[in-house]
Structure 1
Amino acid sequence: MRIAVLFLLACGSAAAADYRISTVATGLDHPWSLASLPDGRLLVTERSGRLRVIENGQLRPQAIAGVPAVLADGQGGLFEVLPDAHFADNQLLYLSFAAGSRQANSTNVVRARLAGEKLVEVKTIFVAKPLKKGTAHYGARMLQLDDGSLLVGLGDGFAFREEAQNLRSHLGKIVRIDGDGSVPRDNPFVGRADVLPEIYSYGHRNVQGLAFDAQNHIVYAHEHGPRGGDEINRIEAGRNYGWPLITYGLDYTGAVISPFTQKPGLEQPLLQWTPSIAPAGMVLYRGDAFPQWRGSLVVSALAAQQARRVPITDGKAGTQEILFAELKKRLRDVRVAADGGLYLLTDYSAGEVLKVDPPR
């Protein structure tokens, strides 16, 4: 109870009058990720396996062809769409998704070129190892760094949480690969025969938020805890973030996962949420539409049905602000629009793309 009270006192709420929310598109099947293209089009993934286009404020009825087959079961499906930093020149996209069967599946990443209404030159560039049973905890959020390499946040497979500490497994890791799937030479474990070379950091539970502060060259990630213990972490190469050796959460049964919240050599989160808010997407806001939000992480949340604005000052998390709670909707993703507003995705079978702008 004490943790919950402290948690509530550490948050303020923004008034709905501080912004206005409009609907961009409706009727999307559990939209998971949104990306803006240089020409103003929006790409939206549906977890069922479709890649959709919003153009001139209208959702096109026809999905993009050529998307690989996905395992749309449980938490599985089509996840992130990420345009390459040089998309205007090369038309390249990266997609993450669940692939395989209920008995043997993994998080996969492909690179493809968008040619009109279809994907061509589709190439698998990453398959998480080993294959796992069950359809939970895929992670699958992606981020492109300024050197062109990709970070992919992965889940622990839910029933395989000990794998987060196993450096011969991709489960419960953040991996780093180049755009063609090769391993960057400066990855932290390159050259060690006992470690998968793609591993960038480990000891994660289910990473579904990644943000890059290009000004300060800092990577932030958030991950789902069990009953409590959702985290935001500052990610550094080669570091161990502790799951399941340390945690602020309990098992869903109420059982203790670990009696420890700290141990030597294991990283502490910038902040943790207990009770859980179920964080989904995350952006670092640098826009002009809401100057008071600059330098803050904005985290969309499923269970809490809101977003959290987390100011970051000198590497520390400040007092949080609750945003968009009046919607009373599960928020799967949050993105910064070209004009500095925000896009939100709602996580329903008839999901929406919403736009947040300053008040008139």
Structure 2
Amino acid sequence: MSPAPRRAASRPASAIPQISWRAPQPAPVVLVSGPEEVCAERAIAGLRDYLRAEDESLEVSDLRADDYAAGSLLGLTSPSLFGEPRLVRVSGVEKCSDTFLAEALAYITAPQEGATVVLRHTSASVRGKKLLDAIRAGQGAGVEIACPAVKRDSDRFDFAAGEFQAARKKIAPLALRALVGAFNDDLTELAAACQQLISDVPGDISEEVVERYYGGRVETSAFTVADTAIAGRYGDALVALRHALASGADPVPLVAAIASKLRTMARVAGSREPAGALAARLGMKDWQVDRARRDLTGWNETSLGTAIQAAARADAEVKGASRDPVFAVERLVTVIATRAPFGA
């Protein structure tokens, strides 16, 4: 497995309101924290739209905290002759200069009336931590919009589902799964795909609609390789694998997708709990439990154990333990699709 990312520092409990990036609300000081740029950009754009809807004369300015000229923050937030509202967007707080840090610490204790200052900190470093701690401790009229990294499959599903929920648009569970699988490695592209379906499709979004729009991506996705292999369709699985590799897919996420499905199957296997209760206990979605139970058709304890062992071996090999990662994936697909040890 790849090493866990380094964390800048543990976060203290926050004394200020925590606002969803999907429904941002202005305050004199708005801290937009966390590494997920898609969510941060949405939040900051949402704040601008909110303020502009209240007053079309809104003045919007941008500052860089790492290339900061003394006095800029106070100058841009100070009232103009006609008293228009001001929005100041500050980027790069995670690499801010000493001058900006000192002025920002002073500013948050006495924000200018009619001004909204948005501080963007990606959490990539501990630089600016003193400012973040002061804001979170309530030293000023601040709110925080957290934008944590979207890395896990469940996070991506929740993100995409949230896109459709926010637009009051229904999408079938299998359609959502196909869409997330097609854009599993790029949240920006996934967000764009969701918005395209929302704007283009007048009714509910079915699996057929996703196939029509993004069939080329879906056909070569890691989850398609996993699905066909687990279903025992050996020939189709090899074809899907070769399409995926030919389109530039990396063996590492291919193996990861297969291993993820096998782990889900193992967690669900043998349980007779209702899908809702089992999903709640395992931290899964109802449809994930239903899908895993369907995937288990034709499998037994021995074949599932063999497949999981093969996945562990392939995971090590595609990450450097073998000189031929492509063969490692092909062997894994063979073991899973035939439900027998390699060469048996």
State the TM-score bracket (shorter-chain normalisation). Answer: under 0.3
TM-score in terms of structure 2 length? 0.23
TM-score in terms of structure 1 length? 0.23
Greater strand content: 1
Greater helix content: 2
